[in-house]
Amino acid sequence: MAALESFLESSVRTATPLLLAGLGEVVVERAGIINIGLEGLVIAGAFGALVGATHQGLGAGFAVAIAAGVGLAILFYVFVDLLGTDQIVTGTAVTILALGATGAMYRSWFGSTGAALSIETSAPLMVPVLSSIPVIGAALFHQPITTYLCYVLVPATWWWMYRTHAGLALRAIGESPNAALVSGIPLSRYRFTALCFGGALAGLAGATLVLAQVGTFAEGMSAGRGFIAIAVVVLGRWNPAGVAVAALVFGAATALQFWIQALGLRIPYQVVLAIPYALTLAGLAGIAGRVSAPAALGRPLTRDLSS
């Protein structure tokens, strides 16, 4: 029972950054944009959290992380929507840029030995009463503050997307930018804002890694979480609630390695680490034909508007 409890607790903990990044990416993709640079936004957020927390403490850590994510998202917006570059190529460049820049800055500012081990971290907050529920109590109510933020953001994003005019406008842009435009929706403003929202949450995802999970920064510590978050969005069928479920499945798949170690099973460590990625492929194949992406996803604006 204790093993199960700690498995569930680490599932939710591992799922939190994926859910944050995925939730932002849902909004972005519903506006017809696929931001492969998400991986770069997460590592930028992680490094921002380190810088902020080193100099000004926890609050600054989160703030700088958000700023870093938003900054890169704006860079992506400028290239994709204003300069008309390809989304996949631009996203790849943003990821390479962020991984390279954070690595170089980390080495030259903190030394190659990694001096910043003494930053203030965000300890898990225990919710009274609720956290003592058997089995799931600790998993759901003994988590860092960003997990609780997810509890608010998932329903709020869902409600905004499906129950407000603005949410409808966003989804319209993702399906047909032309139609959205001629019905008077300020398309650029929506896409810009969506990307900023996605950037802020990706930054928070990185901050969660540094401030609430690992306690320090390491080069490339995002370790593909941004890419998995993109897969989570697809598996969650472009719906905030679905994304929450998909992120939890991923968290559980990753947490499985601790459980397997605890049970003493002789499965190679690397096989377990590969499970989330294999699961993504299986999931993507499994939903084929039953889910459709936003119709304009990944398409350049200029082509749609000129055709």
Partner 1 sequence: MTFFGVSRLQRFPRGQIVAVIAGATALALVFFAIAGTNAGAAAAAMVNGAVGTPYAFFSGTLVRAVPLILTGLAVAWAFSAGIFNIGVEGQFVVGAAAATAAALALPFDGMLALLICLIAGSIAGAGWAGIAAWLKLRFSVLEVISTIMLNFIALQLLAYLVHGPLGDPKGIYPQSPPLSPETWMPKLIPGTRLHVGFAIAVVACAWGWYVRTRTAAGFRLRLVGANPAAAWIAGGVSVQRVTTTAFLVSGAIAGLAGAIEVTGVTYALYESISPGYGYTAIAVALLANLNPAAVVVSGIGFGALEAGAAAMQRDAGVPAVLASVIEAAIILVLATTRMRPGRASPAPVADALAESA
Q: How far is the CB of 268 from partner 1 (least distance, A)?
A: 5
User: Is residue 224 within the footprint of partner 1 (CB under 8 A)?
Assistant: yes
**φ, ψ (nearest 5 deg) of residue 143:** -135, 165
Contact status, residue 128 vs residue 141, Cβ threshold 8 Å:
no
Binding segment for partner 1 (CB under 8 A), chosen from 57-65, 146-154, 185-193, 195-203, is 185-193
User: Is residue 105 within the footprint of partner 1 (CB under 8 A)?
Assistant: yes
User: Is residue 115 within the footprint of partner 1 (CB under 8 A)?
Assistant: no
Instruction: Decide whether 56 or 86 has the Cβ nearer to partner 1.
Output: 86
Binding segment for partner 1 (CB under 8 A), chosen from 49-57, 168-176, 206-214, 298-306, is 298-306
**φ, ψ (nearest 5 deg) of residue 37:** -70, 0
Q: How far is the CB of 300 from partner 1 (least distance, A)?
A: 3
Instruction: Decide whether 211 or 255 has the Cβ nearer to partner 1.
Output: 255
CA distance 108 to 87: 31
Reported as type and span, the H/E element at residue 142 is strand 142-143
Tell me which residue of 21, 1, 19, 14 sits closest to 253, measured CA to CA: 14
What is the phi-psi region of residue 215: left when phi exceeds 0, alpha when psi lies from -120 to 50, beta otherwise? left
User: Is residue 234 within the footprint of partner 1 (CB under 8 A)?
Assistant: yes
Beta bridge partners of 125: 143
What are the percentages of helix, strand and coil residues in the chain, rounded to 5? 75, 0, 25
Under rule CB under 8 A, how many of the chain's residues touch partner 1?
Answer: 56
User: Is residue 250 within the footprint of partner 1 (CB under 8 A)?
Assistant: no
Quick one: DSSP state of residue 132? G
User: Is residue 89 within the footprint of partner 1 (CB under 8 A)?
Assistant: yes
User: Residues with Cβ < 8 Å from 277, sequence gap 6 or more?
Assistant: 224, 228
User: Is residue 270 within the footprint of partner 1 (CB under 8 A)?
Assistant: yes
Among residues 68, 99, 139, 243, which is the contact residue for partner 1, using CB under 8 A?
Answer: 99
Among residues 93, 139, 153, 212, which is the contact residue for partner 1, using CB under 8 A?
Answer: 93
User: Is residue 268 within the footprint of partner 1 (CB under 8 A)?
Assistant: yes
Written as one letter, the residue type at 151 is: Y
Tell me which residue of 95, 104, 100 sits closest to 69, measured CA to CA: 95
**Sign of the C-alpha dihedral computed for residues 264, 267, 273 and 275 taken in this order:** negative
Instruction: Decide whether 105 or 125 has the Cβ nearer to partner 1.
Output: 105
Tell me which residue of 9, 20, 25 sits closest to 230, measured CA to CA: 25
Binding segment for partner 1 (CB under 8 A), chosen from 4-12, 23-31, 78-86, 204-212, is 78-86
CA 256 from chain centre, in angstroms, equals 20
Residues 135-174 that bind partner 1 (CB under 8 A): none
Residues 19-58 that bind partner 1 (CB under 8 A): 34, 36
Q: How far is the CB of 15 from partner 1 (least distance, A)?
A: 18
Tell me which residue of 50, 29, 25 sits closest to 39, measured CA to CA: 25
Binding segment for partner 1 (CB under 8 A), chosen from 134-142, 238-246, 253-261, 270-278, is 270-278
- Site of interaction with partner 1 (CB under 8 A): 34, 36, 79, 81-86, 88-90, 92-94, 96-97, 99-101, 103-105, 107-108, 186-189, 192, 219, 224, 227, 230-231, 234, 268, 270-271, 273-274, 277-278, 280-281, 284-285, 288-289, 298-303, 305
